[in-house]
Structure 1
Amino acid sequence: MFSRKPFPLCSLLLLALILGACKDKPTAAAATVLLRVDNRTVTLEDFKRDFAKSLPANQQLAAEERSELERSYLVQTIDRQLALAEGQKLGVTVTPQELETALEEHRRDYPAGGFEQSLLERNITIEQWRQELEERLIMEKVARQVVYTRVDVTDKEVDAYFRDNRQEFDRPAQVRARQIVVSSETEGERLLGLLRQGSSFEALAKEFSLSPDADDGGDLGFFGRGEMPAEFDATVFNLAVGRLSPLIKSEYGYHIFRVDEKREAVRLTLEQVRGEIRDKLRAEKEETAYEKWLQELRSRASIDVKWSLL
C-alpha cells in the first residue's frame, strides 16, 4: 500500500552508519588493530562486527560494493572518534532524561514492538543501542557548542535567496487526507458502512488499515497533485472537506479516503517564508562548518589506518 512515510529501517540504518559501536575498551593482546586515532584504537574484529550491524538484515552485497561501503564506514568511524574525543575534553555529557526522551522519539517511528524487532533482526541489544544513541547525542551537543554557535544568517542573505529562487514559493493547491487500506473489497465495503454510520475514521484506520500510516489514524499529511498515484489525486482533489470517498481500488489494495483540510494555491511573500529560508540557509551553513571543523580535527590528530586489512 502507498504511504508517504519513510520506511522506519532507514532511520535505524542512518543512525548505525553515523555511530558504529567502536568503544574505548581493552582488547586482547593478540587483537589486530585496524585504526588508531590518537590514543583511541579500533580492532579489526570490532569494526567488522559493527559494520555488519550497520547493514540491513540479510542484505547481500557484491565484494566490490561491500569493500566500498566498509571504507566509507571507516572514514565515518574516524570522524566519530575525533568528535567524541572533543566532547570528552569539553566535559560534554548526556543526562538519563535526555537519553530516554531521544529513545522514545525513535520508538515513535515504528509500530508497536517494531523497534525492538528491528534491533533483534540486526543482532543489536537495547543496551548497545542506548550506548550508541548516547554517543550520538554527545556529538550533537559538541557540534552545537563548538560549531553551530559560529553560524549566522543575515537578512541580506535571506532576501537574496528569495529573489533568486522565487519559483520555490509558488505553492500549488494541497489537501490533507486520511486513508484506510484493506486487502479485499468485502472488507472495504464493511468498513465504509461503519464509517457512514458514524464510526471514528481514525480508530478504524488504527485497527484495520494495512498502511504504515495506520498508527497515525491514516493521516497522509498535506500533498499536492502528482505526489500520489493518479487514482488518489482523482479522488481526493474532487472530494469536499469531511466527506468520505467511495471504495477506490489500486495496486496497493482497496482505499477509503477522507479529506480533512484543503489549501488553495498561493504565491507566498518574503515575510511569509523568511523563517523557512533562514532555517534552510542555516542548515546548509552548519553542514559546511561541521565538515570544516572535522577537517581541522583530522589535520591535528595522529591517525593510523591499516587499509590493507579491509
Structure 2
Amino acid sequence: MCNRLCAMSLTILLLGCGWDRTGLAADKLLPTSGSSSSEQFRSQSPPAPPTEPVQTVSLPERTPGGQTLATVMARVNGQPILREEVLNSASWRLEELRPRVPPAKWAEVEAEIIKSELEQIIDRELLLQDASSRVRPKVMEKVADSASREFDGLLKKQKSQLNLKSDEELRAYLEKRGNSIEEMRRQHIRAYTAMEYIRSLIRDKLDQISREDLLDYYRENPKEFDKPERVTWQHIFVDRYIFSSEEEARAQAQMVHARARNMTTEQFAELAEDPNINRSPSRLRKGEGEGNERGQIRPADVEEALFKLNSGEVGPLIETPTGYHIIRVIDHVPGGKIPFERACPDIRRRLQNKIGQIEYKRVVEELRAKAHIENSLAK
C-alpha cells in the first residue's frame, strides 16, 4: 500500500491530471516582452555541461573519512542520481509485477524496470535543471509549496484508507516498509515541478486545438463515443438449501423482497450485509451487484430483469434452482451515442494528452542533446 502512494503521487502528475491541468505555470510570473512564454524559455541558454570530467557512476560516494554514503547510478550535468531514489520510485511497479513473473524471468524483468525508471528520473532532472536556470526562484518556491500541499492531501487520503488515526501511525507504517515521508515528499515535489514546467513550455500548442479539430476527431473515431447501457445495482440471494423445506425458503425470500421494495440504497445495503439473509458474495460488498454492462452481470440469471428496471426500482423475485434473487437498481443509464457537445471536453483532453506526449518527448530529446549524462545502465 505504501508503494501505491508513491505511484499515486507520480501518476497523478504524469497521467491523471492531463495536459489541460490548470496549475501554477512558471510563465505566469515571468516578465513578458511580446514573445510567448515558450519563446522566453528557449531564448535563454541551457545550463552548460561541466568542464571537468564527472566521477565514475555506479560507484559508492564516500565521506572524507571513507564512509560509504550511497551508490550513484547516473549523473546529469554533474548532479548525481542515487540508487535509493531509483529503487524507491520503481518499488511499486516491482511489487505489482513480482507475483505475476516466473522466478526464472524475474531478474531480467527487474533490471528492465529499474533501467526504465532511471531513464525517467534522468528526464525529470533535465527538466528541473532547465527550469531552475530560467524560472524565477519565487515562482519555483510557489510551485513547490503547491506540490507539498497536494502531497499532504494524498497522505491524508492514504491515512483514511489504511484506517490509521494519526500522522505518527502513518509514518511508522511507511517506515516499517522502508519508505520515508520526507523522501516521498521530495520526489512528489520534483515530479510536480517538472510537469508544471513542461506545461508552461508547450501551453501555446495545447491552446491551439480548434473546434474543427474536435469535430474531426469525433467523426473519425465514432466507436469511442458509443456509450453502452449501464446499471449500478444491488443484490441479495436467499439460498434455499439452508432452509428445511422449499416452502420455508420461498416464504423467507418473499418476506425479504417485500421489505426491500420500500428501501433506500443505504437501507438495502444494510440488509444485504446480514449473513442470515444474504448468502451471496455481494454481502461482502454491502450488497453491490457484480457487473454493469450486458454480458458482465453475475449471476447471469438476473441480467434480463435488471435492464428492464428504472433507477430506484426493485425487480421481481427471481427464482432459480438454488434459491431466490432480489435485485434493486441504483442507477440505469441508457446507451447510445454521446452528443458532440458533451464529448468536446473529453476530446480536447485526449488531443492535449497526445500533443503533450509528443512535445514532452521533443523537449527532453533537445535537453539530452545539450546535456552531459553518464548512466551506469546505458549500453
| Aligned equivalent of 2:200 | 145
Of 126, 137, 141, which aligns to 2:181? 126
Distance in 2 separating the partners of 1:255 and 1:78: 56
Q: 1:262 to 1:193 in 2, by over 3 A?
A: closer
- Structure 1 residue 43 displacement after superposition: 3.5
Letter in 2 for 1:28: R
- Structure 1 residue 299 displacement after superposition: 1.1
Of 315, 322, 331, which aligns to 1:261? 331
User: Are 2:229 and 1:155 aligned?
Assistant: no
Distance in 2 separating the partners of 1:201 and 1:119: 36
SS of residue paired to 2:363? helix
Q: 1:124 to 1:17 in 2, by over 3 A?
A: farther
Letter in 2 for 1:210: L
Is the deviation greater in 130-139 or in 240-249?
240-249
Letter in 2 for 1:304: E
CA RMSD of aligned residues (A): 4.6
| Aligned equivalent of 1:113 | 162
SS of residue paired to 1:282? helix
SS of residue paired to 1:64? helix
| Aligned equivalent of 2:293 | 224
TM-score by length of structure 1 reads 0.69
| Aligned equivalent of 1:201 | 265
Letter in 2 for 1:87: A
| Aligned equivalent of 1:28 | 62
TM-score by length of structure 2 reads 0.58
Alignment of 1:1-310 (within 5 A): 12-13=6-7, 15=9, 27-29=61-63, 31-44=70-83, 47-48=86-87, 51-52=90-91, 55-56=94-95, 59=98, 62-89=106-133, 90=135, 91=137, 92-93=140-141, 94=143, 96=145, 99-105=148-154, 108=157, 112-113=161-162, 116=170, 119=174, 122-151=177-206, 152-175=208-231, 177-179=232-234, 196=260, 201-202=265-266, 205=269, 208=273, 210-211=284-285, 223-229=292-298, 231=300, 233-234=303-304, 236-244=306-314, 258-307=328-377
Runs (5+) with no aligned partner, structure 2: 14-59, 165-169, 243-252, 274-282
- Structure 1 residue 38 displacement after superposition: 0.5
Distance in 1 separating the partners of 2:213 and 2:350: 11
- Structure 1 residue 160 displacement after superposition: 1.7
- Structure 1 residue 85 displacement after superposition: 1.9
SS of residue paired to 2:374? strand
Query: Quick one: percent identity of the two aligned structures?
Result: 22
Tell me the matched-pair count: 285
Deviations 1:217-269 (A, max 9, x none): 9599x9432355463744532333212466999xxxx9975323323333344
Q: 1:289 to 1:223 in 2, by over 3 A?
A: farther
Is the deviation greater in 92-101 or in 299-308?
92-101
Runs (5+) with no aligned partner, structure 1: 1-6, 20-25
Is the deviation greater in 134-143 or in 287-296?
134-143
Distance in 2 separating the partners of 1:244 and 1:163: 39
Deviations 1:106-154 (A, max 9, x none): 7547863269498467421333322222222212211221223432212
SS of residue paired to 1:241? coil
